[in-house]
Structure 1
Amino acid sequence: MRVIPETEETAWPPRIGESRIHRFPLPPHPIAAEQARLLTKMALAGWGLDEALDNALIVVAELATNATKTGEVFRLSLTRQGGTVLIEFWDTSEALPDRRRRSMDRVDGRGLLLVEGCSKDWGWRLEEQGGKTVWALCDAGPAEPPPPSPRM
């Protein structure tokens, strides 16, 4: 996990090679996690990234569930960066993500551990306009389709 104040020099995750971006506002409602999963599934399928689906959908569901707790509209952004998908959730809260280990008796509080396990990296940043963005990087498979097989 990385926590880095964002400036032009330290923007994290790096914004290199952004070629495809989707942004979706979502309501602060329990159905939002399922909506976020569906929108992510459609975006990744449109990019031909079926290999990235499982981990990305887990990450999206967990981060969307956390974002709904703010009680206000939040935003999902998906960016294809070569062989990586950047998943970002912006919400109005400046409360920091908390991934402390929870008691085994609790049924909640393990979402960020799942995000950590299903992503290459994740972190958060406070935004100048207010609120915070929690982000995760997931493998997307090859950056470009493999070359066609030679015909014999």
Structure 2
Amino acid sequence: MLEPCQSRSRFGFLLGSVYRQWRRQIDLNFKDLGLSDATRMPLLVLYVQDKAMRQKDLAQALYLDSSSLVRVLAQLQNAHLVQWDTDPADRRTKCIALTLAGRKVAALILEKSMQIEQTILADLSADEIHVTRRALEKISDRLESGNK
């Protein structure tokens, strides 16, 4: 019987473990803002896109079902971080946009996230970061294309 290659064995477990630890660090650093991962991510996507988005498109960018965003978007709207605007391309459709307060919070989230990332990656060389990023991008592309 062939032994599995050690470098490939339980890769998914390691990746999941790193993700959970990384997310825990982020969550601890954002505890004072009262924002969870679920509420931070839509703000970041809207900030990076720099335009209003339909709920369906925002959900797709977050790899979520559109209906699962309803409660989160209501929380963000109640906090005055997002607002609903009419879609100029289809007046029957509403788009979600950041408010001025939402833009400020999203910019803070991005800045703090980058600081946390730099701390986490501090012991890695630029080459190690580059190789890791390329490998993760390949995995992501493969999963997105459905070639599991």
Q: TM-score, normalised by structure 1?
A: 0.24
Which structure is richer in relative contact order (CA contacts within 8 A, separation 6 or more)?
1
Q: TM-score, normalised by structure 2?
A: 0.24
Say which structure is richer in helix: 2
Say which structure is richer in strand: 1
Larger Rg: 2
